[in-house]
Amino acid sequence: MASTSAAPARSQPYPDLHGTTVGFIGLGDIGLPMVANLLRAQAQVWVNDLRQPALARAQELGARPGSLRELADHCPVICVAVINERQMRDVVLGAQGLLEHMRAGQTLIVHSTVPPRAARELADAVRARGVQVLDAPMSGANIAARAGTLSFLVGGEATVLQACRPLLDAMGTHVFHLGAVGNGQVGKLVNGLIFHVGHVVILEALRLAHAHGVAEEDIVELVKASTGNCWTIEHWGYFDRFFDEHTLVGRDELIEGLLRKDIADALIAAHDVKSWLPMSGLAMELYPQLVYERQARRRAAAESAREGG
């Protein structure tokens, strides 16, 4: 297996968030490192997650676990980094959700990747209660989350972004303001299409190489030095670790809930504006089969290496 590149080191200093209190909901593969960086910047962080091990790890880092009500009571700004639209709606708009407890003047930052329409509908609901909102999905994967070098793709009012900028600067090194709420999601989905559809093409290309007896490691190294290079090739091995180490259980859940999800959300966004994404639709269909095939080759190679050893 080719070596995996690390994220570029963080070059800018952390902002001083001493005296700042922030809530954070969703302590997954990216959310927990984001919390760690807020703590490095000296923020006081209240956290919420359904998984006790994730809460325990955040508490070890210095965060304070709390209920949704406690986060709303203590935190002027609350970040939401749950997996999908359903979870976002449940956390914010559900019975005893955040909105039941938030008050005018507070700010909600949605880091989850959801269809733009869902972000705009959520914004309308929370603004009716006097709560400000940014949609700020991130790019860079858990590699950049750990390094504090995420890119944030932001939709919302410029004054709200300016007020929240120190928090984003603690977790990332690039902030792109794309306009109104929902536009951050558009930026994330466009970037995600390039990323995931590109991954599908790479898997298909490696299938061809395997069929002709050319080693995957050789292909990866030659592409790194050639015109086909991209983030996925530069960080080859990322998806292997993703399957081996992710906190969710089961490869089917990972593929459906995290890999194909961004393509599915982009297809919803395209339908909403009567756009057309034929290659994305095809990639959505091919993704599971190509992932399963490569995982099978990987297992077979590992078994062969054990027998040979």
pLDDT in tens, 273-290: 999 999 999 999 999 899
Neighbours of 37 (CB within 10 A): 24
pLDDT in tens, 69-95: 999 999 999 999 998 999 999 999 999
Give how far the C-alpha of residue 158 lies from the chain's centroid of Cα atoms, to the nearest Å: 23
Return the CATH superfamily for domain 186-300: N-(1-d-carboxylethyl)-l-norvaline Dehydrogenase; domain 2 (1.10.1040.10)
Return the CATH superfamily for domain 21-180: NAD(P)-binding Rossmann-like Domain (3.40.50.720)
Residue reference for tokens 């990866």: 220
186-300: same fold as 21-180?
no
Query: pTM for the full model?
Result: 0.89
Cβ-contact 92, 86 below 8 angstroms: no
Active site residue 188: yes
Domain ranges of the chain: 21-180, 186-300
Angle at the Cα of 38 from the Cα atoms of 106 and 65, rounded to 5 degrees: 70
DSSP the chain: -PPPPPPPPP-SPPP--TT-EEEEE--STTHHHHHHHHHHTT-EEEEE-S-HHHHHHHHHHT-EE--HHHHHHH-SEEEE--SSHHHHHHHHHSTT-GGGT--TT-EEEE-S---HHHHHHHHHHHHTTT-EEEE--EESHHHHHHHT-EEEEEBS-HHHHHHHHHHHHHHEEEEEE-SSTTHHHHHHHHHHHHHHHHHHHHHHHHHHHHHTT--HHHHHHHHHTSTT--HHHHTTTHHHHHHHH-SS--HHHHIIIIIHHHHHHHHHHHHHTT---HHHHHHHHHHHHHHHHHHHHHHHHHHHHHHH-
Q: What is the pLDDT along the chain (309 residues), one digit of tens a residue?
A: 333 455 567 888 999 999 999 999 999 989 999 999 999 999 999 999 999 999 999 999 999 999 999 999 999 999 999 989 999 999 999 998 999 999 999 999 999 999 999 999 999 999 999 999 999 999 998 899 999 999 999 999 999 999 999 999 999 999 999 999 999 999 999 999 999 999 999 999 999 999 999 999 999 999 999 999 999 999 998 888 877 776 555 666 667 667 788 899 999 999 999 999 999 999 999 998 998 899 889 888 888 888 875
Cα separation, 120 vs 185, in Å, equals 10
Give the active site residue among 188, 224, 261, 274: 188
